Amino acid sequence: MTLSRRDFAKRSAATGAGVALAGSVGVLASAPGALATGDGAAGAAGAEAESARAAAALGYGPLVKDPKGLLALPRGFSYRVITRTGVTKLESGEYTPSNHDGTATFEGPRGVTLLVNNHELGGARTKWPHPVPLTEGLVYDPAAAGGCTVVEVSKHGDHVAEWVGIAGTSTNCAGGSTPWGTWLTGEETEDKAGKNGMTKDHGYVFEVDPQDRRANRSPRPLKALGRYAHEAVVVDPDRGHVYLTEDASGPNGLLYRWTPPAGFRHGRGRLRTLSDTAGALQAFKCFDSGGRFVDDLSRATATGTVYGVDWVTVPDRDARTTSVRKQFKDGEVTRARKLEGMWWGDGGVYVVSSFAREESPVRHDGQVWFYHPRRRTLTLKVLLGVNRNPERDGAFDGPDNITVSPYGGLVLAEDGEGVQHLFGALDDGRTYPIARNELNIGTPQKPEYSEFTGVTFAPDGRTLFANIQDPGIMLAITGPWRRQGR
């Protein structure tokens, strides 16, 4: 059933509180412990008082500089390097591929943890010193450098093995785990055969099974999910919908929903059996509580903003002549800059818009939204104000990969400018640091720190895994985790 703008307006009027119109002014959660609110000046004062009261209990304390120059953590926490490009090796003898990105964990046999790790390598293989090896039977396009590896970590962390899950794909950025225990990896590119040396079309989602190597042979793109610059993928375990983000500009990208065809049941390898046009691929269209169309998510300037959501069918999901996002006219869909990480939790989908600049109506340094499938509403949970001095430690900007923490709230990987963090965020907008990347890949005069990626907890919740994308390092973080917030 379509939720009309009129229905949403009536529902908003009936419920009263909890609906904030875009354009209201609030405090932006732009620093550790900041509390975002939509109550104007009075809200700002209250936010400061509440933030001060909660600061002592929030998070795990200040970050301690790492004498090894890799990862600053709160006191009592420690890390271990799991894989490192050019240092660790695959079972086949080649070095671990570079540019670690989206990652998820899975329970393996005998207490081991299995991680599927994307490698965001775009363009021709020849430009990358450590591409994903072209393992026989696992290659989609031999000209492409990207793909996924599967990493096995023993119960006590004293043994690590790594092998190729898929090769010959391009720019494998984010992705997402499925309720049936596989990984969906997305290509963040629209390269067709003949461009950048490619021999096949790219911009698809592929399924990788960490448990069954045979299931990964003869890779087949899941064309029903569309061809565009894919970021994250989330599956609704109850309704079977697949949600997908697009990181693109000129115009800004879209949030998509794929609805399975009638009678289809999800399961291992079943997506590969579908036709290229199976189901319905749609893009989102938002409107506020007054029934007004919202052209871009950056319009929301206060946490608590709620939009109603409709879904508009994509005309040509394979983008044979026109990019999917360009197939819609102004007023037909809602856009957002750098739609990145997603994660299922609390009965819905958390969605990141990493930042907004001149290509967006309103500037910000990061949003986290929550889509409620049953209510068909999108609520702004976290809003990061523009970071005026990203070279200084303290504020956060540019959230990217995201996970729901077993200890409450969210954990986000920072992909902004300057200093890079892993940080936590609660649903009231407060944020706190978890880790800081101290590996300078620039110069002493002009330091540069790579983004964090692939943030995800082990199945038992005791270990937080995350990657430093450049040069490509997977880390396991342990410590005195405790409940945060509500």
Does residue 324 form part of some domain? no
- Do 102 and 86 touch, CB atoms closer than 8 A? no
Three-class SS state of 47: helix
Does residue 9 form part of some domain? no
- Do 361 and 296 touch, CB atoms closer than 8 A? yes
Q: Which are the contacts of 245, defined by CB distance < 8 A and separation ≥ 6?
A: 174, 230, 231, 232, 253, 255, 256, 339, 340, 341, 342, 351, 352
Least confident piece of the model among 217-226, 394-403, 449-458: 394-403
pLDDT at 39: 38
pLDDT at 393: 87
Residue 4 pLDDT exceeds 60:
no
- Domain span at residue 151 reads 89-221
pLDDT band at 45 (very low <50, low <70, confident <90, very high): very low
Residue 36 pLDDT exceeds 60:
no
Residue 14 pLDDT exceeds 70:
no
Distance CA 353, CA 451 (A): 16
Residue among 432, 331, 334, 427 nearest 380 (CA): 427
pLDDT at 394: 80
Residue 44 pLDDT exceeds 50:
no
What's this model's pTM, rounded to 2 decimal places? 0.90
What does the DSSP assignment read for 366-407? -EEEEEETTTTEEEEEEEPPP-S-TTSSS----EEEEEE-TT
pLDDT band at 157 (very low <50, low <70, confident <90, very high): confident
Identify any residues that bridge with 248 across adjacent strands, giving them in sequence order: none
Distance CA 349, CA 234 (A): 7
Least confident piece of the model among 36-50, 234-248, 449-463: 36-50
pLDDT band at 429 (very low <50, low <70, confident <90, very high): confident
pLDDT band at 7 (very low <50, low <70, confident <90, very high): low
Distance CA 246, CA 101 (A): 16
Task: For residues 435-444, give the mean pLDDT.
Answer: 96
Residue 43 pLDDT exceeds 70:
no
Least confident piece of the model among 182-186, 348-352, 441-445: 441-445
More confidently predicted of 188 and 6: 188
Task: For residues 432-455, give the mean pLDDT.
Answer: 96
pLDDT band at 57 (very low <50, low <70, confident <90, very high): confident
Distance CA 24, CA 480 (A): 39
Distance CA 364, CA 400 (A): 14
pLDDT at 156: 82
Q: Which are the contacts of 450, defined by CB distance < 8 A and separation ≥ 6?
A: 420, 437, 439, 441, 468, 469, 470, 471
pLDDT band at 26 (very low <50, low <70, confident <90, very high): very low
Does residue 100 form part of some domain? yes
Residue among 276, 287, 280, 273 nearest 257 (CA): 280
Does residue 290 form part of some domain? no
Report how many domains make up the chain.
Answer: 1
More confidently predicted of 392 and 82: 82
Phi, psi torsion values for 294, nearest 5 degrees: -110, 115
Three-class SS state of 125: helix
pLDDT at 289: 92
Does residue 352 form part of some domain? no
Does residue 399 form part of some domain? no
Does residue 127 form part of some domain? yes
Q: What are the tens digits of pLDDT across the range 139-156?
A: 999 999 999 999 999 988
Distance CA 298, CA 249 (A): 14
Distance CA 485, CA 379 (A): 19
Share above pLDDT 70 across residues of the chain, in percent, rounded to a whole number: 88
Task: For residues 232-251, give the mean pLDDT.
Answer: 97
Task: For residues 22-45, give the mean pLDDT.
Answer: 35
Residue 42 pLDDT exceeds 50:
no
Least confident piece of the model among 6-10, 66-70, 95-99: 6-10
Q: What are the tens digits of pLDDT across the range 378-400?
A: 999 999 999 988 888 888 999 99
pLDDT at 22: 29
What b/e sequence results for 197-234 when a residue is b if at least 16 CB atoms lie within 10 Å of its CB, and e otherwise? bbebbbbbbbbbbbeeeebbeebebbbbbbbbbbbbbb
Task: For residues 311-332, give the mean pLDDT.
Answer: 98
Least confident piece of the model among 114-123, 381-390, 430-439: 381-390
Does residue 149 form part of some domain? yes
Average pLDDT value over all residues in the chain: 90
Bond into 251 cis (ω within 30): yes
Task: For residues 81-99, give the mean pLDDT.
Answer: 97
